[in-house]
Amino acid sequence: MHRSEAQGSSKGAIFSLGKRLRKLKRFLTAEIWVTDGDTRRRRYQSYPEYLAHQKSKLSQIRNLDRKRRILMDALRKRLSAVTWIKSGMSVLCLGARQGGECEVFIEMGTFAVGIDLNPGVENRHVMAGDFHQLQFADASIDCVFTNCLEHAFEVSTVIDEVRRVLKPGGLFIAEIVLGSRDERGRDPGEHDSVWWDHSESVIDKIKQGGFNEIQRQEFGKPWAGIQVVCSSPITMKASSARDLIAVDGFAPLGA
Ligand SMILES: C[S@@+](CC[C@H](N)C(=O)[O-])C[C@H]1O[C@@H](n2cnc3c(N)ncnc32)[C@H](O)[C@@H]1O
């Protein structure tokens, strides 16, 4: 056998071993997940159990500062490609932990704050809050950003809340981790509460929630995912939508 053939067959063996190990892992962890089509939800006895599980993550993370910097470097690049983000906009970041994403939005000239179940102590950018029940008024925010939908108890409730707080034609920027059956995807981690085979199924849920997709880009850092930029539905009269364009300087898509 030639050397290149031998290398090829050992690569093939490693690939198929990896595939079998992933299948075994899925089988062994099956009892903690409830499957519904493309999506799996972690089995929690109660909502308080879900909240406690999610809040417990912060104390288990090492190198928080390094993680924040890696996130910020990656986000700076891809958010600069989202031309709908304008200075002076209000931005709410969901599941923002230390607030690295808020800092990037602030660098872009926006007014940005975050919410998190566990923002830690003395967090300048992030306040306590649950993204299933936001503490903000209807139609009061220009842009919502999240990279945490896999930490939801119920993804569709989060999407409904985003639609409620966004101004008509507002921006929803969701960064969705690639799922178990996506190319370059992965299986869920210890603190993921919902998981999918394909990230496209989450994008479908966002669209079913009334959002229009206006841009997408794939990314690889800090993890492999898809960023989708969507506009929220316009439920106001056309004349008010025109006022919004004049005042805020961005065109709500679908207007
Ligand atoms: C993977 S971390 C991401 C943190 C940050 N966005 C980042 O990229 O570094 C997920 C975050 O979501 C938060 N979280 C989980 N469930 C939440 C909920 N229901 N409401 C608000 N935050 C939540 C967790 O506390 C955690 O900080």
pLDDT digits (tens, 9 = 90+) for 150-204: 999 999 999 999 999 999 999 999 999 999 999 999 999 999 999 999 999 999 9
Give the integer Cα–Cα distance in Å for 184 and 205. 22
79 lines ligand 1 (CB under 6 A): no
Give the integer Cα–Cα distance in Å for 182 and 179. 5
For 215, list phi and psi in degrees, rounded to 5: -165, 150
Position in ligand 1 atom list of the atom nearest CA 68: 9
pLDDT digits (tens, 9 = 90+) for 99-158: 999 999 999 999 999 999 999 999 999 999 999 999 999 999 999 999 999 999 999 999
**DSSP element (H, E) containing 47:** helix 47-55
Select from 187, 181, 170 the least CA-distant residue to 223: 187
Which residue lies with its CA nearest to atom 11 of ligand 1? 95
Name the token pair of 61: 């993370």
**Domains delineated in the chain:** 20-247 (3.40.50.150)
Share of the chain above pLDDT 90, in %: 77
- Judge whether residue 239 has pLDDT over 50: no
199 lines ligand 1 (CB under 6 A): no
100 lines ligand 1 (CB under 6 A): yes
130 lines ligand 1 (CB under 6 A): yes
71 lines ligand 1 (CB under 6 A): yes
Position in ligand 1 atom list of the atom nearest CA 158: 19
Contacts of 80 (CB under 8 A, 6+ apart): 108
CA atoms within 13 A on the CB side of 192: 20
pLDDT digits (tens, 9 = 90+) for 2-44: 555 656 667 777 778 877 776 766 666 667 999 999 999 999 9
179 lines ligand 1 (CB under 6 A): no
Tell me how far the alpha carbon of residue 47 lies from the centroid of ligand 1, in angstroms: 16
Ligand 1 pocket: which of 148, 149, 193 to mutate (most atoms within 8 A of CB): 148
The one-letter amino acid code at 255 reads: A
Please give the full DSSP string across 130-163, using - where no structure is assigned. BTTB-SS-TT-EEEEEES-GGG-S-HHHHHHHHH
Name the token pair of 69: 């910097």
